[in-house]
């Protein structure tokens, strides 16, 4: 049968089979598996049917634990059910997995295997998560490539029905889940043929039903539990045979034969590598290469890992086996070896002891590789095979890193490459926002679908959410592509952004005769002189061909804006000669129609125009024979950076993190703060420039800045004596800080992301040109040098004394130093202004518990992190535990602080005579309600420490304890932060409990109304009528009213804020929340790119949300009850504009009017009703209570 060839990634391949062969799908987003759920949700929303003609039901749960629970329930109710997950999500499913397996329930969970958060979180791929489920009773079956994902998904689905053992079907996160590959798509007939209908009916018959009731899930005692547990053995014994049976059936049907263990290599191999997952591709390439060199090597690919069939394993090994090296993509600290290694050792030992081993007991070594998607290349495989030749090969080794601490790592030659010359290998450097990745995905599809070539695409992103760099790795050619690693010898390199040339050694991977395509403003004649020395050198020495295009010019002329994707793609096809030019153009246009057709003819035409204009602007440049440039690659950080930043952080920034040895890495995940300041990213094309002549000194630009890159200072004007010539200043207008004070607004142009929020909120207009304000955007490059000096000078000016600042006013609060700066958040981020405000107000005494999500990524993803400290060395201490437990994690901070404070207070009294009664009394009874009180207490604590530091206390344990606890006498501020996915969904149970605890913690919910970090999936905070992933047809129900729920406790301080609508109310709420001696909850409207809005004017969206009454501003302060006042203050006017006037400013709402106008209209009416109803409730709350209070008086 002729099957369709499709160019898709691993997630889509798994989702395709899962969707087609299940009735119920319960999902929850987690990287890198989210896309599987998204595909299924989208297909279900479109009404696509599975192989039985049923549209599967797709439900998003509140957590993976919830998804597993629903899966368990649906299975028990007889439905074919599946789910998708990874990493922490899989861990949350474990309790249910024991149940599902214990009850012998047929299901397949598809897992894009990912690292587990240990010393740090990582979203990338390894087998740590899957390995943690070994004891659940689930079968574990691995796929090594995108094709295998589709095939194995079906084999597992077929096998589970007969075996009654549930399966985890896993494949490597990112490397396989996100690799785009041309594969053969299974047909519905294939799936029908593989699945036994009788077994499906049997599965259904086992369902719980009142029509034939049974009881399942009993509790058992010591007498029978054990026996009950042993009943399943025969199923596990039979399982491998059943899986092989379906592998064979599949082979007959489709032609691809799989085995539980697949051996490749020399039939008489002596050195065998055993492994599973995508790394097998790289290993197989090397095995093929070495066997051609007549080396006796082989690779055993493990497919069915659980149940582990010793017989099948042993039989798959050549009889000539002498050395086995087992590679595990996981780490189990403290174990005698990693899991697969131990299984192999056990299998060999058992067979050896029973006399069934067909060869002498081999040497067996185990090694770890590829953690968190660490590259695993044929060169590394060669290193391992070389090691295996040794008399005493290293055991428990690592490969791919340099372990200079415990010396586990094997040596290998990183320059050794066996990439096939017949295969095209291209690397494309782009920006996230320029569409490079999208274009390359399209190119792969065009080539994959337009030729008989094999094709592969893999895409690498940096960790920043603004100005992120992307590198696309493309391979295609007549030979099957098994290269499951990045392109390291390229014959085509494209640089889509000129600025990269000075940051990256771009042509180092180019082979001789390779092509270099550069997007540049420079002309054919001028371009040579703009290239760095190293680039010129590579172009000459490698005899490269050099092409240029001014893609931004073409984009501007054709209305494409900053999207140069189509233009660069056209260049690629024009140069690479994969197809004749005319044919390529037709194919690109066809692809454009497919990609943009849904967005209307005009968009298609605009892209067509761009294609047509490109060729006229593409030039070949003849490479001169001589290097003339003096331009050098820029250092990653300045010479002034601290040692760690220079030695480690700088390497990571420069893309050389793979070279950092173990000895340079902190042992326990602890990192210095304040590193973002050293990474001068220079990503803004335009930056704000202050016009002091019209400034009204309101500091609104400062409070809204998401990146803390525009700041205000008030200082003694005498300090201006040494100021750089271009340093701007004006006389401070107020008298609050004394006479003769100067005022400056300074921009960190190298850290600014150019969002323009500051310009948008600036209220001061130029009287002669009202289009200009006191802050205006100007080109960054001409300003860079002088503003760098001005910024340095600005930083050298002293911070104003915190004790004298009226922190409750917006203006004055912005003279407080931010201790959260230059994060990697999106340009114009709506969350970070709130986070920054916390650090300004309380940062020098704050502990921050941060839920996993956007805020933990822009807050804590290496290389550099934004949390920093002041000149006294104080600043927020930050940590991220998990997604689901953040409130509890933060409560733990408070419990520890309170206990330490109590211990310190008790110890002080013990040492009253040594310390002095007065100081003790002052320390114990200090008023720390304001900055002055805290300042005084800090002085007292210093005094206390001095008094306890004498030699007479050297052997006094209590005194030592008191010294170590003394700082807890100063008030600490606990902040629990996270997004709505955490607060409304996965962490709600914990949050609710923590709010009910009565403890003094401050909860800040950065409410973007979707799971922003994983790509905009619906949460319970998503409003009715908005489109989100998992709510493609518009969210049918209203937003959960988290604030009102918390208010019902009566003793929780609750505020709802929107900085763009009322910054003064925001500041007040933060101060009150922190001052409240009990739990506080602030729900902060956070605009987000997932809303589909112009981020530079997003504060207007906030205002509109409030004006419509959708987002109410209020403060509920339980303290007011004691004063006989109504604790609830409604602070917005509400219902000033219809909801739709706000909502349709945003793509998330508007797109529904274009995809399903009738539903959009219906939902908008209901959403307006929600607004009206809620507003009535709040008005009542604001008024009724007062009445009650009057009565009570």
Q: Which residues are designated catalytic?
A: 31, 64, 114, 1013
The answer to whether 435 contacts other proteins (rule: CB under 8 A) is yes
The answer to whether 138 contacts other proteins (rule: CB under 8 A) is no
DSSP conformational letter for 799: P
Instruction: Write down the residue that tokens 């100063």 correspond to.
Output: 970
Separation of first and last alpha carbons in the chain:
86
Binders in 375-414 for other proteins, by CB under 8 A = none
CA distance 317 to 302: 11
Query: Is residue 111 within 8 Å of 141, Cβ to Cβ?
Result: no
The answer to whether 174 contacts other proteins (rule: CB under 8 A) is yes
The answer to whether 433 contacts other proteins (rule: CB under 8 A) is yes
The answer to whether 980 contacts other proteins (rule: CB under 8 A) is no
Rounded to a whole number of angstroms, the minimum distance from the CB of residue 88 to other proteins is 13
The answer to whether 598 contacts other proteins (rule: CB under 8 A) is yes
Helix, strand, coil distribution of the chain in percent, nearest 5: 45, 15, 40
Binders in 111-130 for other proteins, by CB under 8 A = 123-124
The nearer residue to other proteins, 600 or 798, going by C-beta atoms, is: 600
Size of the site for other proteins (CB under 8 A): 67
Binding mask 1027-1046 vs other proteins (x if CB under 8 A, - otherwise)? xxx--x--------------
- Paired tokens of 1117: 């302060």
Classify residue 57 by burial, with Cβ atoms within 10 Å: 0-12, 13-18, 19+: middle
The nearer residue to other proteins, 450 or 559, going by C-beta atoms, is: 559
The answer to whether 43 contacts other proteins (rule: CB under 8 A) is yes
The answer to whether 656 contacts other proteins (rule: CB under 8 A) is no
Rounded to a whole number of angstroms, the minimum distance from the CB of residue 1138 to other proteins is 12
The nearer residue to other proteins, 588 or 1082, going by C-beta atoms, is: 588
The answer to whether 559 contacts other proteins (rule: CB under 8 A) is yes
Of 228-236, 243-251, 559-567, 890-898, which part binds other proteins (CB under 8 A)? 559-567
The answer to whether 41 contacts other proteins (rule: CB under 8 A) is yes
Rounded to a whole number of angstroms, the minimum distance from the CB of residue 428 to other proteins is 12
The nearer residue to other proteins, 465 or 680, going by C-beta atoms, is: 465
Nearest to 59 by CA among 75, 32, 82, 80: 82
Query: Is residue 1035 within 8 Å of 1024, Cβ to Cβ?
Result: yes
Rounded to a whole number of angstroms, the minimum distance from the CB of residue 599 to other proteins is 5
Rounded to a whole number of angstroms, the minimum distance from the CB of residue 472 to other proteins is 9
**Which uninterrupted H or E stretch holds 108?**
strand 108-113
How far is residue 919 from each of residues 902, 922, 939, 942, measured CA to CA in Å?
A: 17, 5, 11, 11
Q: What is the largest CA-CA distance in the chain?
A: 98
Rounded to a whole number of angstroms, the minimum distance from the CB of residue 597 to other proteins is 9
The nearer residue to other proteins, 41 or 751, going by C-beta atoms, is: 41
The answer to whether 432 contacts other proteins (rule: CB under 8 A) is yes
Binders in 739-798 for other proteins, by CB under 8 A = 765, 770
DSSP conformational letter for 362: P
The answer to whether 60 contacts other proteins (rule: CB under 8 A) is no
The nearer residue to other proteins, 41 or 387, going by C-beta atoms, is: 41
Rounded to a whole number of angstroms, the minimum distance from the CB of residue 34 to other proteins is 8
CA distance 854 to 1005: 12
Q: In angstroms, what is the C-alpha Rg of the chain?
A: 32
The nearer residue to other proteins, 195 or 1145, going by C-beta atoms, is: 1145
- Count of beta carbons in the 10 Å neighbourhood of residue 22: 25
For the CA atoms of 210, 214, 219, 223, what is the dihedral angle to 10 degrees? 160
The answer to whether 589 contacts other proteins (rule: CB under 8 A) is no
Among 15, 22, 38, 762, binds other proteins (CB under 8 A): 38
Binding mask 1090-1119 vs other proteins (x if CB under 8 A, - otherwise)? x-xx--------------------------
Binders in 1124-1163 for other proteins, by CB under 8 A = 1147-1148, 1150-1151, 1153-1155, 1157
Binding mask 289-328 vs other proteins (x if CB under 8 A, - otherwise)? ----------------------------------------
The answer to whether 593 contacts other proteins (rule: CB under 8 A) is no
How far is residue 152 from each of residues 10, 160, 895, 957, measured CA to CA in Å?
A: 11, 12, 49, 63
The answer to whether 238 contacts other proteins (rule: CB under 8 A) is no
Rounded to a whole number of angstroms, the minimum distance from the CB of residue 1032 to other proteins is 4
CA distance 395 to 342: 12
The answer to whether 72 contacts other proteins (rule: CB under 8 A) is no
**Which uninterrupted H or E stretch holds 24?**
strand 24-27
Rounded to a whole number of angstroms, the minimum distance from the CB of residue 47 to other proteins is 11
Of 138-146, 457-465, 947-955, 1077-1085, which part binds other proteins (CB under 8 A)? 457-465
Residue 1039, phi-psi category: left (phi > 0), alpha (psi -120 to 50), beta (remainder): beta
Binders in 853-912 for other proteins, by CB under 8 A = 857
Binding mask 464-483 vs other proteins (x if CB under 8 A, - otherwise)? -x--x-x-------------
Residues forming beta bridges with residue 1006, ordered by sequence position? 979, 1084
- List of residues 6+ apart from 527 with CB closer than 8 A: 518, 520, 548, 621
The answer to whether 596 contacts other proteins (rule: CB under 8 A) is yes
The nearer residue to other proteins, 569 or 1112, going by C-beta atoms, is: 569
For the CA atoms of 716, 720, 723, 727, what is the dihedral angle to 10 degrees? 80
Of 296-304, 336-344, 434-442, 793-801, which part binds other proteins (CB under 8 A)? 434-442
DSSP alpha helix (H) spans, 429-517: 436-450
Rounded to a whole number of angstroms, the minimum distance from the CB of residue 861 to other proteins is 10
The answer to whether 1082 contacts other proteins (rule: CB under 8 A) is no
The answer to whether 32 contacts other proteins (rule: CB under 8 A) is yes
- In our burial notation (b when 16+ CB lie closer than 10 A, e otherwise), range 887-924 reads bbbbbbbbeebeebbebbbebbeebeebbeeebbebbe
The nearer residue to other proteins, 1031 or 1057, going by C-beta atoms, is: 1031
CA distance 863 to 646: 11
- Paired tokens of 778: 């100007």
Among 308, 459, 547, 727, binds other proteins (CB under 8 A): 459
Rounded to a whole number of angstroms, the minimum distance from the CB of residue 743 to other proteins is 23
The answer to whether 46 contacts other proteins (rule: CB under 8 A) is yes
DSSP alpha helix (H) spans, 911-1009: 912-915, 917-924, 931-948, 957-965, 980, 988-996
Using DSSP's 3-state secondary structure scheme, residue 514 falls into: strand
CA distance 681 to 684: 9
The nearer residue to other proteins, 436 or 973, going by C-beta atoms, is: 436
Among 780, 840, 1013, 1101, binds other proteins (CB under 8 A): 1013
Query: Is residue 44 within 8 Å of 50, Cβ to Cβ?
Result: no
How far is residue 25 from each of residues 19, 61, 106, 187, 388, measured CA to CA in Å?
A: 8, 10, 14, 21, 46
Query: Is residue 485 within 8 Å of 421, Cβ to Cβ?
Result: no
Residues in touch with other proteins (CB under 8 A): 31-32, 34-35, 38-39, 41-43, 45-46, 123-124, 174, 178, 431-433, 435-438, 441, 459-461, 463, 465, 468, 470, 559, 561-563, 596, 598-603, 606, 765, 770, 826, 857, 1012-1016, 1027-1029, 1032, 1089-1090, 1092-1093, 1147-1148, 1150-1151, 1153-1155, 1157
């Amino acid at each position: 049968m002729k099957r369709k060839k499709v160019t898709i990634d691993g997630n889509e391949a798994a989702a395709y089979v899962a969707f087609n062969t299940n009735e119920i799908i319960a999902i929850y987003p987690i990287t890198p598996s989210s896309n599987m759920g998204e595909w299924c949700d989208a297909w279900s929303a479109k009404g696509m049917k599975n192989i039985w003609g049923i549209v599967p039901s797709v439900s998003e749960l509140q957590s993976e634990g919830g998804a597993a629970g629903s899966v368990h329930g649906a299975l028990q109710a007889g439905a074919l059910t599946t789910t998708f997950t990874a990493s922490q999500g899989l861990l949350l499913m474990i309790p249910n997995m024991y149940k599902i397996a214990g009850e012998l329930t047929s299901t397949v969970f598809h897992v894009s295997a990912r690292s587990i958060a240990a010393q740090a979180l990582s979203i990338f791929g390894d087998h740590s998560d899957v390995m943690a489920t070994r004891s659940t009773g689930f079968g574990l079956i691995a796929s090594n490539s995108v094709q295998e994902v589709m095939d194995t998904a079906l084999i597992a689905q077929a096998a589970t029905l007969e075996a009654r053992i549930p399966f985890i079907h896993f494949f490597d996160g990112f490397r396989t889940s996100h690799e785009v590959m041309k594969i053969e798509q299974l047909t519905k007939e294939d799936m029908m043929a593989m699945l036994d209908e009788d077994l499906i009916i049997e599965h259904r018959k086992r369902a719980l039903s009142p029509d034939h009731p049974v009881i399942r899930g009993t509790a058992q005692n010591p007498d029978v539990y054990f026996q009950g547990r042993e009943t399943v053995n025969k199923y596990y014994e039979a399982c491998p045979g059943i899986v092989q049976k379906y592998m064979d059936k599949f082979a007959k049907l489709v032609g691809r034969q799989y085995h539980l263990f697949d051996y490749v290599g020399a039939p008489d191999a002596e050195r065998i590598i055993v492994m599973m997952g995508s790394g097998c591709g790289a290993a197989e390439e090397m095995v093929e290469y070495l066997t051609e060199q007549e080396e006796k090597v082989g690779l055993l690919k493990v497919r069915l890992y659980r149940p582990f069939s010793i017989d099948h394993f042993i039989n798959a090994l050549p009889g000539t086996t002498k050395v086995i090296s087992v590679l595990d993509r996981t780490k189990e600290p403290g174990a005698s070896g990693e899991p697969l290694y131990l299984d192999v050792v056990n299998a060999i030992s058992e067979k050896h002891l029973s006399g069934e081993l067909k060869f002498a007991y081999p040497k067996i070594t185990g090694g770890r590789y590829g953690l968190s998607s660490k590259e695993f290349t044929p060169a590394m495989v060669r290193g391992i095979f070389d090691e295996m030749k040794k008399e005493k090969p290293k055991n428990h080794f690592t490969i791919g890193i340099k372990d200079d601490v415990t010396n586990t790592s094997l040596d290998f030659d990183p320059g050794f490459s066996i990439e096939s010359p017949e295969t095209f290998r291209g690397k494309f450097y782009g920006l996230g926002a320029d569409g490079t990745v999208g274009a390359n995905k399209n190119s792969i599809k065009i080539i994959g679908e337009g030729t008989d070539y094999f094709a592969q695409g893999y895409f690498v992103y940096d960790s920043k959410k603004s100005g992120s760099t992307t590198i696309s790795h493309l391979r295609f050619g007549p030979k099957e592509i098994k290269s499951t690693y990045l392109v390291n010898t390229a014959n085509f390199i494209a640089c889509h952004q000129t600025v990269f040339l000075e940051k990256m050694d771009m042509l180092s991977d180019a082979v001789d005769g390779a092509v270099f395509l550069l997007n540049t403003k420079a002309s054919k004649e001028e371009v040579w002189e703009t290239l760095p020395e190293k680039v010129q050198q590579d172009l000459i020495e490698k005899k490269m061909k050099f092409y240029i295009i001014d893609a931004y010019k073409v984009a501007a002329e054709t209305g494409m804006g900053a999207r140069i994707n189509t233009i660069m793609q056209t260049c690629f096809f024009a140069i690479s000669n994969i197809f004749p030019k005319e044919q390529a153009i037709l194919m690109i246009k066809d692809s454009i129609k497919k990609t943009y057709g849904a967005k209307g003819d005009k968009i298609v035409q605009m892209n067509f125009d761009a294609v047509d204009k490109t060729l006229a602007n593409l030039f070949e440049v003849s490479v001169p024979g001589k290097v003339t440039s003096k331009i050098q690659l820029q250092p990653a950080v300045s010479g002034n950076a601290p040692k760690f930043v220079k030695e480690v952080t700088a390497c990571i920034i420069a893309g050389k993190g793979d070279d950092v040895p173990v000895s340079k890495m902190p042992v326990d995940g602890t990192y210095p703060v304040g590193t973002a300041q050293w990474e001068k990213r220079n990503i803004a094309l335009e930056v704000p420039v202050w016009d002091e002549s019209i400034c009204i000194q309101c500091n609104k630009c400062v409070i809204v800045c998401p990146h803390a890159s525009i700041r205000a200072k008030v200082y003694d004007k005498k300090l201006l004596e040494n100021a750089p010539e271009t340093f701007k200043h004006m006389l401070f207008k107020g008298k609050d800080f004394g006479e003769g004070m100067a005022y400056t607004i300074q921009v960190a142009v190298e850290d600014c992301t150019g969002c323009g929020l500051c310009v948008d909120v600036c209220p001061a207009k130029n009287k002669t040109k009202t289009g200009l304000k006191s802050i205006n955007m100007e080109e960054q490059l001409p300003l860079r040098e002088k503003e760098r000096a001005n910024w340095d000078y600005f930083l050298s000016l002293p911070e104003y004394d915190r004790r004298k600042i009226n922190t409750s006013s917006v203006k004055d609060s912005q003279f407080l130093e931010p201790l959260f700066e230059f994060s990697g958040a999106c340009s114009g981020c709506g969350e970070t202004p709130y986070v920054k405000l916390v650090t300004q107000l309380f940062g020098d005494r704050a502990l921050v518990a941060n839920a996993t999500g956007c805020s933990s990524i822009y807050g804590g993803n290496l290389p550099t992190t934004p949390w920093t400290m002041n000149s006294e060395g104080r600043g927020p201490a930050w940590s991220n535990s998990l997604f689901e437990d953040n409130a509890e994690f933060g409560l733990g901070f408070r419990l520890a602080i309170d206990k330490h404070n109590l211990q310190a207070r008790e110890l002080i009294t013990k040492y009253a005579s040594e310390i002095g009664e007065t100081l003790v009394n002052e320390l114990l009874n200090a008023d720390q309600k304001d900055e002055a009180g805290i300042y005084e207490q800090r002085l007292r604590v210093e005094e206390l420490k001095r008094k306890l530091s004498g030699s007479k206390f050297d052997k006094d344990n209590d005194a030592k304890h008191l010294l170590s606890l003394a700082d807890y006498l100063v008030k600490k501020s606990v902040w629990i932060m996270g997004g709505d996915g955490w607060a409304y969904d996965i962490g709600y149970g914990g949050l609710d409990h923590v709010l009910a605890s009565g403890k003094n913690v401050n909860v800040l919910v950065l409410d973007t109304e979707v799971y922003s970090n994983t790509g905009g999936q619906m949460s319970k905070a998503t409003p009715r009528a908005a489109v989100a992933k998992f709510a493609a047809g518009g969210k049918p129900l209203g937003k959960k009213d988290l604030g009102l729920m918390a208010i019902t406790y009566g003793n929780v301080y609750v505020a709802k804020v929107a900085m763009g609508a009322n910054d003064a109310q925001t500041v007040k709420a933060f101060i009150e929340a922190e001052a409240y001696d009990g739990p506080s909850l602030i729900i902060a409207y956070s605009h987000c790119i997932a809303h589909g809005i112009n981020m530079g004017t997003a504060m207007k969206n906030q205002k509109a949300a409030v004006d419509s009454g959708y987002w109410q501003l209020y403060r509920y302060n339980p303290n007011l009850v004691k004063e006989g006042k109504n604790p609830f203050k409604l602070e917005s006017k509400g219902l000033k504009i219809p909801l739709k006037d706000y909502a349709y400013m945003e793509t998330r709402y508007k797109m529904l009017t274009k995809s399903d106008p009738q539903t959009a209209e219906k939902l908008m009416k209901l959403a307006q009703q929600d607004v009206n109803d809620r507003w009535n409730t709040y008005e009542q709350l604001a008024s009724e209570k007062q009445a009650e209070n009057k009565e009570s008086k």
